[in-house]
Structure 1
Amino acid sequence: MTTTKVATGNNVPIQSPLFPDPFVPYECKNNRTITAVCRTDETVIKRYLEHTPFEYVDNTYIVTISDFGNCNKGSFLDCAIVIPAKYKDTVGGHYLFEYENEDFAIAAGRELWGYPKKYAELSMEEKDGKVIASAIKAGNEIIRLEFDLNSEVETLPELKLTPHLNLHTVPNPAGKGILYQNVIARDTTPDFQMKTTQQGTVSVKLGGDKTTPLEDLKPLEVLGGTYTVGDFYATEKNGWGKIIDRLK
Structure 2
Amino acid sequence: MDEAKAGSEQGYRVQSGNNMPIQAPLIPDPFVPYHCPHNANLMVVCRTDKAVLEKYLAPTPFEAIDDRYVVYASDFSRCDKTPFMDTGIIVPVRWGKRTGGYFLFEYENNDSAIAAGRDLWGYPKKYAEILFEESEAAVRSRTVRKGETIMELRCNLTRPAEFEPVVTTPHLNIHIQPGPDGRILNKRIIERDTSPDFALESECKAMAEVSLRGLSSDPLHELQPQEVLGASFVVGHFHATEENGWGRTVVEL
- TM more than 0.5: yes
- Distance of 2:188 and 2:147 partners within structure 1: 34
Instruction: State the one-letter code of the partner of 2:206.
Output: G
Preserved contact between residue 7 and residue 14 of structure 1 (Cα < 8 Å): no
Partner of 2:166: 159
Q: Report the CA distance between 1:128 and its aligned residue.
A: 8.8
Partner of 1:84: 92
**Mapped pair 1:66 → 2:69:** no
- Distance of 1:237 and 1:69 partners within structure 2: 23
Q: Report the CA distance between 1:4 and its aligned residue.
A: 8.5
SS at 1:18's partner residue? Answer: coil
Instruction: State the one-letter code of the partner of 1:13.
Output: P
Deviates more, 1:62-71 or 1:127-136: 127-136
Partner of 1:212: 218
Q: Report the CA distance between 1:19 and its aligned residue.
A: 1.1
Deviation track 1:58-97 (CA, whole Å, cap 9, x = no partner) reads 1100000000011010210000100011111110000110
- Where do 1:23-102 residues align within 5 Å? 23-102=31-110
- Distance of 1:78 and 1:238 partners within structure 2: 20
Deviation track 1:192-247 (CA, whole Å, cap 9, x = no partner) reads 01101100001000001221100010001000011111000000111010100111
Instruction: State the one-letter code of the partner of 2:92.
Output: P
Instruction: State the one-letter code of the partner of 2:188.
Output: N
- Distance of 2:217 and 2:237 partners within structure 1: 33
Instruction: State the one-letter code of the partner of 1:113.
Output: W
- Distance of 2:174 and 2:85 partners within structure 1: 22
Q: TM-score w.r.t. structure 1 length?
A: 0.95
Q: Report the CA distance between 1:7 and its aligned residue.
A: 4.2
- How many aligned positions are there? 244
Task: Go from structure 1 to structure 2 and tell me whether the alpha carbon gap of 1:198 and 1:128 turns closer, same or farther (over 3 Å shift).
Answer: closer
Partner of 1:197: 203
Q: 1:107 aligns with which of 115, 128, 131?
A: 115
Preserved contact between residue 70 and residue 166 of structure 2 (Cα < 8 Å): no
Task: Go from structure 1 to structure 2 and tell me whether the alpha carbon gap of 1:4 and 1:201 turns closer, same or farther (over 3 Å shift).
Answer: closer
Preserved contact between residue 76 and residue 105 of structure 1 (Cα < 8 Å): yes
- Distance of 1:29 and 1:164 partners within structure 2: 21
- Distance of 1:164 and 1:127 partners within structure 2: 29
Q: 1:20 aligns with which of 18, 23, 28?
A: 28
- Where do 1:178-193 residues align within 5 Å? 178-193=184-199
Deviates more, 1:122-131 or 1:196-205: 122-131
Partner of 1:245: 251
Deviates more, 1:209-218 or 1:104-113: 209-218
Preserved contact between residue 165 and residue 185 of structure 1 (Cα < 8 Å): yes
- Distance of 1:142 and 1:119 partners within structure 2: 12
Partner of 2:232: 226
Q: Report the CA distance between 1:116 and its aligned residue.
A: 0.2
Deviation track 1:2-22 (CA, whole Å, cap 9, x = no partner) reads 999344321111111001111
Partner of 2:147: 139
* Runs (5+) with no aligned partner, structure 1: none
Task: Go from structure 1 to structure 2 and tell me whether the alpha carbon gap of 1:4 and 1:32 turns closer, same or farther (over 3 Å shift).
Answer: closer
Query: What is the RMSD of the two structures over their aligned residues, measured on CA atoms?
Result: 1.5
Q: Report the CA distance between 1:129 and its aligned residue.
A: 3.1
